[in-house]
Amino acid sequence: MASKKIFQLLNALNVQEQQFLKEYISLNVYVKNEKVKQLYTILTSLEDHSLLDKVEIFKKLFPNTQYDDQQFRLVNSRLLKTLEKGLIDYLAQKDEIKHQILLLRYYRERGLATHFNSTLRKIQGQLDKYGYDNAEFHEVNTSIQLELHEFAQGQKRSKDPNIQELLSALDIEYISKKLRYMCLSAAHSNVFKEQFDIGLGEDVLNVLQQGHFSEVASISLYYRCYLMLSDLNNNQYFLAFRNELNAKANLFPQEEVRSLYLLGINYCIRWLNQGDLNYGKIGLELYKESLAKELMLVNGYLSRFTYRNIATMAIRVGEFDWAETFSESYKSRVRKNHAESAYFLNLALIRYHKRQLDESLDALLRVNFKDALITLAVRLIQMKIYFEQKEFLVLDSHLEAMKMFIIRNKVIGYHKENYLNIIKYTRKLLRKHRMSDESRTKIIDQVKSVNPLTERQWLLEQWL
């Protein structure tokens, strides 16, 4: 249905965007079609797209008129175009400095020196207030230096005053952006085992190894990050990254800092999955820091995945009470359509680790997610409970169902390997009492060494 597409867009808006579009649509200068305004009012009053009924909506728009699908689609189309135009205006207001650069270019091309210099001063003033030292800042600075260079050329000056500044700005912008995406490629490779050709990245690393650009935050921080991600076994790189992040996080926008925190947290999770509880505690500290700074909130909400990951980290390092307090406190920060299931999944984990197994199973009955990884997380808890309650026939069927679920849902990379390893060594547990001591020792050695295996500790406890 056409209205469903609009509803999904409306549901994705943050509070500021909602308010802007409400005012935008209410102005006759922008929207002269009253049916468009009326449809907007109807859709914004709904909380769930399952309540959408095109015939009922049409009746509200056109009382005493037989349903006309073409007419209904036309009103929908006009509303969607209006919303998109409004969003473009909203985004333009948020990124005013880039529009000022377009104006600067226009004045330079028209030879309007007074206008050029006035706009340049305005842009430089805005840049001084920007407060960040990220790649976007250096992109704007490069644009300014390019316009200054072209302006000087147009003035027929014998000496160009900013060639060196332009060359340096180009280097800093390129290296800042290159390093950022090298970090993303390294993080992707660590999960999915896919290798990338980083091109001139090797030359960039050689330059940075000599200490160049160490004073530029967008370079020094991502350089430390890349070293951490490209050599996971060298914890000195992680410590250097964490120190750099603590020192320079205020020089980056919240969204970017959140991504950097998550890269550090994922590094800790990798080590925690290999049995290093100390890194689990460091990872939880990073989560707590990010919560205190509200970094993990996106448009005012905590994603259900982050909500679960934070509680899981706390549980794995034994902070059960903190995990429960967190789950209660942040339940309202999860989107309403996911909050109940997310909360009861966390509660099931906590109850399981407190050895309240029946209460854990009861909580799992109230979890309703379609996401494959969360479904596997639910089945993992059930698997452990069935084993510990000696429901071996149920467990055998459950393990086969888990395996088929992984295959059908095309779970890939790290997660596929991890869950298949868990299933493999849990199956072997069912035959433990029939094994010789030699066979059991061999399997225990495998459990100790195989990777990835997030349930290594649990499996060893069952074998020993």
Asked if the structure places residue 332 within a domain, the reply is no
Amino acid at 444: I
Amino acid at 52: L
Other CB atoms within a 10 A radius of the CB of residue 250 amount to 12
The whole-number pLDDT of residue 160 equals 65
In this structure, what token pair is assigned to residue 386? 């069935």
Give rounded-to-5 percent helix, strand, coil for the chain.
75, 0, 20
Asked if the structure places residue 409 within a domain, the reply is yes
Which alpha helices (DSSP H) does 365-433 contain, by range?
Answer: 372-388, 392-408, 413-429
Q: Which is nearest to 242 in space by CA: 266, 223, 225? A: 225
Domain end marker among 38, 63, 94? 94
Asked if the structure places residue 187 within a domain, the reply is no
Asked if the structure places residue 235 within a domain, the reply is no
Domain that holds residue 55: 2-94
In this structure, what token pair is assigned to residue 366? 């109230």
In this structure, what token pair is assigned to residue 85? 């135009």
Asked if the structure places residue 129 within a domain, the reply is no
Asked if the structure places residue 412 within a domain, the reply is yes
By CB neighbour count within 10 A (0-12 exposed, 13-18 middle, 19+ buried), where does 397 fall?
exposed
The whole-number pLDDT of residue 230 equals 96
Asked if the structure places residue 82 within a domain, the reply is yes
pLDDT in tens, the chain (464 residues): 557 788 889 888 888 899 999 988 887 555 567 888 888 888 888 776 666 788 888 999 999 899 999 999 999 999 999 999 999 989 888 888 888 999 999 999 999 999 999 999 999 999 888 899 999 999 999 999 999 999 988 877 666 678 999 999 999 999 999 999 999 999 999 988 889 999 999 999 999 999 999 999 999 999 999 999 999 999 999 999 999 999 999 999 999 999 999 999 999 999 998 889 999 999 999 999 999 999 999 988 999 999 999 999 999 999 999 999 999 999 999 999 899 999 999 999 999 999 999 999 999 999 988 888 889 989 999 999 999 999 999 999 999 999 999 988 877 777 889 999 999 999 999 999 899 999 999 999 999 999 889 899 899 999 88
Backbone angles phi, psi at 68, to 5 degrees: -125, 105
DSSP strand pairing (301-302 vs 297-298):
antiparallel
Amino acid at 18: Q
Domain end marker among 60, 94, 128? 94
Number of domains observed in the structure of the chain: 2
Q: Note whether 417 and 433 are within 8 A (CB).
A: no
Does the pTM of the predicted model rise above 0.85? no
Domain end marker among 47, 68, 94? 94
Q: Which is nearest to 382 in space by CA: 408, 401, 361, 412? A: 361
Asked if the structure places residue 394 within a domain, the reply is yes
Residue 235 to residue 231: CA distance in whole angstroms: 9
The length of the chain is 464
The whole-number pLDDT of residue 96 equals 85
Residue 302, beta-bridge partner list? 297
